[in-house]
């Protein structure tokens, strides 16, 4: 399968600039160790790690694509969501910077409200304990889950989400944020293309026609969490709606002793097809 070829590009990765454990230097080292030719840095609501990662990759022969991951509510209650990855972003776009700043503020407010809920039900957790885990990046639910594990309130991150943080759990707070069409438009204004991330995890396939109508460019068909039948399903859905195909491991670091980086990847021709689509959203440059 395309996702299993050597070399290629992993187009969905995280660092300490959001909720990953890699620094830019260790991410580049891991990418080279797994024989990748290019990576996309897609931290949650942040492009702050792009330039440090590019500097770290400069002498490694590794291409670094600027990206970011956006969580988008898809129900009125905000308890269900999809994730969109923007790729080939112009990191200095003022519209992008403002949109990311707003999203980070909403993320932090959401985590603060979850901490308050935990404290009200007797699960004592201090705000600074969570924020310390998030430095230098923006705070997410994953940092809150890690803090719960460190405090002995959960055996694992999975258990923390299941018991306290997922929809319907005692400390869950719905996501706030702009709708998908607005997020896709923001990605396009920043010269990027919009990819539906790990659709087999969010299970919102019914949203794909509306997303395509709103300008979605690609579906992340290749993902370590997808079965072979899911890969085939999303390849077919991409073709049905005139969408390109993406691939990404969504690697945040070690997951239960397993390193996911490079477990899903695209070959050079497919990456160039994505790059060409992104180029259509960039304003002409005049010398």
Q: What is the pLDDT of residues 77-94, one digit of tens each?
A: 556 789 999 999 999 999
The answer to whether residues 41 and 91 touch, using CB atoms and an 8 Å cutoff, is no
Q: What is the pLDDT of residues 26-42, one digit of tens each?
A: 999 999 999 999 999 99
pLDDT reported for residue 48: 96
Q: What is the pLDDT of residues 217-257, one digit of tens each?
A: 999 999 999 999 999 999 999 999 999 999 999 999 876 56
Report d(CA 151, CA 133) in Å as an integer.
Answer: 13
Strand 81-87 to strand 193-196: parallel, antiparallel, or no bridges (unpaired)? antiparallel
pLDDT reported for residue 255: 61
Measure the N-to-C terminal CA separation of the chain; round to a whole number of Å: 42
- Residues 171-187: what's their mean pLDDT? 94
pLDDT at 271 over 50: yes
Report d(CA 287, CA 266) in Å as an integer.
Answer: 33
Domain ranges of the chain: 2-100+180-279, 104-165
Query: Which fold, 104-165?
Result: DNA polymerase; domain 1 (1.10.150)
* Architecture of the domain made up of 2-100+180-279: Alpha-Beta Barrel (3.20)
Q: Which 3-state string (H, E, C) describes the chain?
A: CHHHCCCCEEEEECCCCCCCCCCHHHHHHHHHHCCCCEEEECCECCCCCHHHHHHHHCCCCCEEEEEEEEEEECCCCCCCEEEEEEECCCCCCHHHHHHHHHHHHHHHHHHHHHHHHHHHCCCCCCHHHHHHHHCCCCCCHHHHHHHHHHCCCCCCHHHHHHHHHCCCCCCCCCCCCCCHHHHHHHHHHCCCEEEECCHHHHCCHHHHHHHHHCCCCEEEEECCCCCHHHHHHHHHHHHHCCCEEEECCCECCEECCEECCCCCCECHHHHHHHHHHHHCCCCCCCC
pLDDT reported for residue 175: 87
Which of left, alpha, beta for 40 (phi over 0: left; psi -120 to 50: alpha)?
Answer: beta
Residue where the block lists tokens 């491991």: 249
**Total-model pTM:** 0.91
Structure tokens at 170: 């005692």
- Residues 258-271: what's their mean pLDDT? 92
- Residues 14-31: what's their mean pLDDT? 95
Q: What are phi and psi of 161, to 5 degrees?
A: -65, -45
Percent of the chain with pLDDT over 90: 86
Residue 92: CB atoms within 10 Å:
10
């Amino acid at each position: 399968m395309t996702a299993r070829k050597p070399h290629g590009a992993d187009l969905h990765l995280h660092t300490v600039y959001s909720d990953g454990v890699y620094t830019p230097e260790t991410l580049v080292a891991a990418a080279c160790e797994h024989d990748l030719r290019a990576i996309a840095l897609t931290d949650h609501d942040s492009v702050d790690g792009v330039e440090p990662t590019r500097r770290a990759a400069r002498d490694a022969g590794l291409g670094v694509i600027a990206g970011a991951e956006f969580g988008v509510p898809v129900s009125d209650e905000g308890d269900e969501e999809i994730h969109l990855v923007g790729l080939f972003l112009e990191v200095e776009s003022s519209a992008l910077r403002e949109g990311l700043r707003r999203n980070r503020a909403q993320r932090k407010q959401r985590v603060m409200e979850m901490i308050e809920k935990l404290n009200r039900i007797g699960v004592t957790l201090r705000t600074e304990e969570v924020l310390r885990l998030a430095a230098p990046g923006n705070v997410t639910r994953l940092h809150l889950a890690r803090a719960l594990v460190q405090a002995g309130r959960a055996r694992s991150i999975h258990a923390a989400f299941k018991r306290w943080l997922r929809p319907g759990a005692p400390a869950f707070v719905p996501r706030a944020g702009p709708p998908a069409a607005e997020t896709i438009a923001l990605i396009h204004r920043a010269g990027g293309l919009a990819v539906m991330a790990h659709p087999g995890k969010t299970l919102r396939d019914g949203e794909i026609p509306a997303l395509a109508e709103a300008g979605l460019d690609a579906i992340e068909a290749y993902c370590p969490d997808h079965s072979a039948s899911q890969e085939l399903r999303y390849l077919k859905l991409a073709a049905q709606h005139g969408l390109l195909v993406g691939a990404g491991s969504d690697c945040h670091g070690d997951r239960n002793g397993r390193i996911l980086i490079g477990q899903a990847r695209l070959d050079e021709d497919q990456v160039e097809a994505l790059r060409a689509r992104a180029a259509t959203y960039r304003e002409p440059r005049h010398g």
